[in-house]
C-alpha cells in the first residue's frame, strides 16, 4: 500500500496535486490542518510499501521516518522546513531545500520540469513566496489579471488550512485535494461558476474583515503583534492575515496571537519580507514551536511568556 502524507495548506496540497496529476497512483491520504505536522506516525509501518511525504518537517517526524526505513519502506520526501540530521538510507529519496525563498511545490515543480507550473505558481503565492511566484508567472507569460487570479486562489487554499481541527476548516484538506485533481488547469477552477474558488473567496473576505478590527498588543520599529479572539474565524485567518501584514510592511516582523481555549496563544510569526531569517529558530526556543526561516509558529504559548516572546523577537529584528 502506498501512502501520501502531506501538509493541509496550499503548499502541501498542491505539491501532491502536481505529483499525482503527473504520476497517478492509488494511495491512502494522510493529512490534517496546517499545524498538524507530525503526520508520518500515522502511517502503519506493517502495511506501507512506499510513502510520499510533502511539506512537513523531517525533524518533527524523524522517529516515524526511521521506523519506516528500518522496515525497508521506500520514502520519497520533499520539503523546505528544518530537517535535523537526515538519515542515510538506500530507501530514502529526499528533495529538501531550506532556502527562505522556496517551498515544497516549487521543488516538485523543478522535479517535474515545470509540467504543472501554473499550479506551482498558485502554491508559491499561497505560501507567500511572492518573488518566486511572480518570476514563474512571467516565464509562463501570464497577464496581470491571470497572475492576480492565481494569487487569489493560492491565498484562499492556504487560508483553508488553518484551524484547531478539521472542523474549523471550510473544506477538509483530503477532500480539497481530491476536488483539485479534477482541474489540471487552475484557470478552469477559477472561472467555473459556483466553484470552491467562489466559496473560499467569500469566506476569506468575511474573516479578513473581522481580523482588520483586531487588537494590537505591541507595535515598535521591529515587530507588530496582533491578538485574535478564541473563535473558528480567528484560527482560519491567522496565517493569511500575518502574510498580509508582512507584505504591507516588509521591513517589520509580524506576529498574530490567537487565543486558545486553555488561555494560551497559538502564534503565527512572519519574519520581515526584506529579511527572511530567524523565524523558525525563534519559535523553536519555545515548547511546541518551530517552522522555517521566513515563517514559523508556536502551537501553545503560555500567556506569562508573551513578554518573553515579544522581547526576544523585537530584539532579534532591531
- Over the stretch 32-57, which tens digit does the pLDDT of each residue have? 999 899 999 999 999 999 999 999 99
- Please give the residue range of the domain that contains residue 288: 213-316
Give the count of alpha carbons within 13 A of 213, CB side only.
6
Looking at the fold, whether 190 and 306 belong to one and the same domain comes out as no
Question: Distances from the Cα of 60 to the Cαs of 35, 254, 305, in angstroms?
Answer: 12, 24, 23
> Dihedral, CA atoms, 227, 229, 269, 244, nearest 10 degrees?
-80
How many of the other CB atoms lie within 10 Å of CB of 206?
12
The pLDDT tens digits for 215-273 are 999 999 999 999 999 999 999 999 999 999 999 999 999 999 999 999 999 999 999 99
- Is residue 97 over pLDDT 90? yes
Looking at the fold, whether 180 and 270 belong to one and the same domain comes out as no
The pLDDT tens digits for 101-132 are 999 999 999 999 999 999 999 999 999 999 99
Q: What would the mean pLDDT of 265-290 be, rounded to a whole number? A: 95
Looking at the fold, whether 192 and 242 belong to one and the same domain comes out as no
Percent residues over pLDDT 90 in the chain:
97
What pLDDT was estimated at residue 27?
A: 97
Provide the edge-to-edge strand list for the sheet that holds 50-54: 28-30, 2-6, 50-54, 74-79, 92-96
Query: Which pLDDT band, with edges at 50, 70 and 90, does 82 fall under?
Result: confident
How many of the other CB atoms lie within 10 Å of CB of 160?
29
CA distance 17 to 13: 6
Looking at the fold, whether 230 and 187 belong to one and the same domain comes out as no
Largest CA distance in the chain: 53
Domain presence at residue 207? no
Domain presence at residue 28? yes
Q: Say which DSSP state 128 is in.
A: T
Burial class (CB in 10 A: 0-12, 13-18, 19+), 201: middle
Domain presence at residue 126? yes
Q: Which of 149, 170, 200 delimits the end of a domain?
A: 200
What pLDDT was estimated at residue 279?
A: 96
Amino acid at each position: 500500500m502506498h501512502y501520501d502524507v502531506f501538509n493541509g495548506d496550499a503548499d502541501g496540497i498542491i505539491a501532491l496535486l502536481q505529483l499525482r496529476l503527473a504520476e497517478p497512483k492509488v494511495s491512502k491520504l494522510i493529512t490534517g490542518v496546517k499545524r498538524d505536522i507530525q503526520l508520518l506516525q500515522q502511517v502503519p509501518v506493517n502495511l506501507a510499501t512506499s510513502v510520499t511525504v510533502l511539506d512537513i518537517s523531517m525533524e518533527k517526524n524523524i522517529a516515524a521516518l526511521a521506523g519506516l526505513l528500518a522496515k525497508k519502506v521506500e520514502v520519497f520526501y520533499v520539503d523546505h522546513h528544518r530537517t535535523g540530521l537526515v538519515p542515510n538510507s538506500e530507501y530514502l529519496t529526499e528533495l529538501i531545500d531550506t532556502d527562505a525563498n522556496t517551498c515544497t511545490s516549487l521543488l516538485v515543480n523543478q522535479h517535474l520540469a515545470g509540467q504543472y507550473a501554473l499550479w506551482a505558481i498558485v502554491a508559491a503565492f499561497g505560501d507567500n513566496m511572492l518573488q518566486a511566484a511572480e518570476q514563474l508567472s512571467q516565464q509562463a507569460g501570464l497577464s496581470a489579471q491571470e497572475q492576480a487570479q492565481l494569487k487569489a486562489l493560492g491565498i484562499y487554499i492556504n487560508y483553508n488550512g488553518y484551524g484547531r481541527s478539521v472542523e474549523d476548516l471550510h473544506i477538509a484538506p483530503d477532500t480539497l485535494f481530491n476536488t483539485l485533481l479534477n482541474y489540471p488547469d487552475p484557470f478552469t477552477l477559477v472561472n467555473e461558476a459556483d466553484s470552491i474558488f467562489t466559496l473560499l473567496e467569500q469566506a476569506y473576505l468575511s474573516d479578513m474583515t473581522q481580523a482588520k478590527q483586531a487588537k494590537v498588543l505591541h507595535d515598535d520599529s521591529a515587530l507588530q503583534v496582533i491578538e485574535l479572539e478564541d473563535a473558528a474565524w480567528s484560527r482560519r485567518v491567522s496565517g493569511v492575515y500575518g502574510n498580509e501584514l508582512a507584505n504591507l510592511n516588509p521591513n517589520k516582523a509580524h506576529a498574530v496571537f490567537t487565543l486558545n481555549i486553555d488561555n494560551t496563544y497559538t502564534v503565527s510569526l512572519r519574519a520581515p519580507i526584506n529579511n527572511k531569517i530567524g523565524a523558525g529558530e525563534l519559535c523553536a526556543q519555545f515548547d511546541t514551536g518551530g517552522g522555517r526561516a521566513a515563517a514559523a509558529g508556536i502551537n501553545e504559548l503560555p500567556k506569562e511568556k508573551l513578554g518573553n516572546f515579544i522581547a526576544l523577537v523585537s530584539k532579534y529584528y532591531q
